[in-house]
Amino acid sequence: MSKTVIIDPVTRIEGHAKISVYLDDAGEVENARFHVVEFRGFEKFCEGRPMFEMAGITARICGICPVSHLLASAKTGDKILAVQVPPAGEKLRRMMNLAQLTQSHALSFFHLSSPDFLLGWDSDPAKRNVFGLMAADPDLARAGIRLRQFGQTVIELLGARKIHAAWAVPGGVRSPLSDEGRNWIIERLPEARQTTELAISIFKRLLDSELKTEIDVFGKFPSLFMGLVSPDGTWEHYGGHLRFIDSNGEIVADGLSEDNYQDFLGEAVENWSYLKFPYYKPLGYPDGIYRVGPLARLNVCDCIGTEDADRELIEFRHRAGGRVATSSFFYHYARLVEILACIEAIEELVDDPDVVSKRVRSEAGINCLEGVGVSEAPRGTLFHHYQVDENGLIKKVNLIIATGQNNLAMNKTVTQIAQHYIHGNEIPEGMLNRVEAGIRAYDPCLSCSTHAVGQMPLHIQLIQKDGTVIQEKYRH
């Protein structure tokens, strides 16, 4: 008799979701679905607001990655004002985004995911969290916390607040970096680099010993990958153009502009999730599945452009078995390589005299009635699309977030993991944790909330096709 396993909520992600695993009569997995069960409506309630307020408003979408929306919104405002941002303004925006990538990746790796790697998939759920990591390896846990603090403090030094800083604005930024802030960053960079290099070495050692199965079954499948690259193909996180590649490393589309995203991106909906399902239009839905985020960014770029990160990229690709890493488990590895790239880029920027220049903003009025901005958030490519009236009041908003663009891939991943690990009616908690961990590999950001600290409750049910609950477990 067929059954359904419900994992609700999925733990150690930013937001609220559940996973349904559907079993056939023999107890084998037929399918699995990742449901986003919260509805927020940001696109709708922005209507009627002045365009100049949008950066500050949309930053409130998320408490983990407010900088991502702040910058994407400000870049959309640049288009509507039809201005060129001063060099100092662009470099300061870049520095804040590098700090944002650093702090968010550190949160994902050390707080949300490393308890699985370091404490064990089958360890006690009550201790399989950041507090358990503190007890098992206090030095590593402290280093991870300080690495995230580094990124957060750089954001604060630039924008005066760690979270929801209304600093980037259409035309540039509000203020430069102070000399005191610059000196603090210089002093803390060596420690941040040391922690990152330690984390990379630990994770590579685990890949060689304990995590070989996970590489093969945690979302390893062919798909497209999309991300920003610079004109010469170098890794990008702020400017450049969009590129699609396939799983063989062949370029599918290059030189794409965010202004024309509707020509190559479609958005499908399903009745079992509030999260939309973007896809690559030329291949249709769902064949146009693609992935974004750190894994995609390392796959689409020709090089990173900094010495140590480029060396790690070569090894990353060697371990992946080729030009493109198709296992979603390598998202964790890619985050660490990107942190190293960010630290190296901050080291270069902090010596640039423009970061303390006073010429940080271009002034203008409404010159265009529509604009599209794009930036690389920690979880992937983020689009903001605004239409305004002659007074700059918002008429329509469309946001395409990174987590949504990974939606098809996340569903494919949980199905693959469930089919590998779940067999029969008795399902150990560690097996269900592995299914959840497939989602954590993407580090989905579903709302402003986060489950980084503590142990979230979990309610699991085995349900027959007629709705009868035959097995039920609670995690408190």
Binding residues for Mg(2+): 43, 62, 399, 451
The one-character DSSP state at 452 is: -
- Please name which of 40, 58, 41 lies closest in space to residue 49, comparing C-alpha atoms: 58
Burial class (CB in 10 A: 0-12, 13-18, 19+), 52: middle
Show binding-site residues for Fe cation: 65, 448
**Pairwise CA distance, residues 205 & 143, whole Å:** 18
Pairing, β 290-291 against β 224-229: parallel
Which tokens sit at 134? 């503190």
Q: Are 447 and 62 in contact (CB under 8 A)?
A: yes
Q: Phi and psi of 232, rounded to 5°?
A: -95, 10
**Pairwise CA distance, residues 361 & 370, whole Å:** 20
Tell me the torsion sign for CA atoms 340, 224, 316, 431: positive
Show binding-site residues: 43, 62, 65, 399, 445, 448, 451
Contacts of 89 (CB under 8 A, 6+ apart): 171, 172, 173, 359, 360, 361, 362
Show binding-site residues for Ni(2+): 65, 445
**Pairwise CA distance, residues 299 & 295, whole Å:** 6
**Pairwise CA distance, residues 325 & 82, whole Å:** 39
Question: For the chain, how many helices (H) and strands (E)?
Answer: 16, 16
**Pairwise CA distance, residues 278 & 16, whole Å:** 20
Count of residues making up the chain: 476
**21 forms bridges with which residues in the sheet?**
5, 32
Q: Which H helix or E strand runs over 244?
A: strand 241-245
CA angle at 6 for the pair 268 and 37, rounded to the nearest 5°: 40
Q: Is 122 helix (H, G, I), strand (E, B) or coil?
A: coil
Which tokens sit at 81? 């004002």
Q: Phi and psi of 92, rounded to 5°?
A: -70, -40
Q: Phi and psi of 174, rounded to 5°?
A: -80, -30
Which tokens sit at 329? 């488990």
Which tokens sit at 439? 């989602």
Angle between helix axes 87-106 and 330-349 (nearest 10 degrees) is: 140
- Please name which of 452, 377, 332, 384 lies closest in space to residue 101, comparing C-alpha atoms: 377
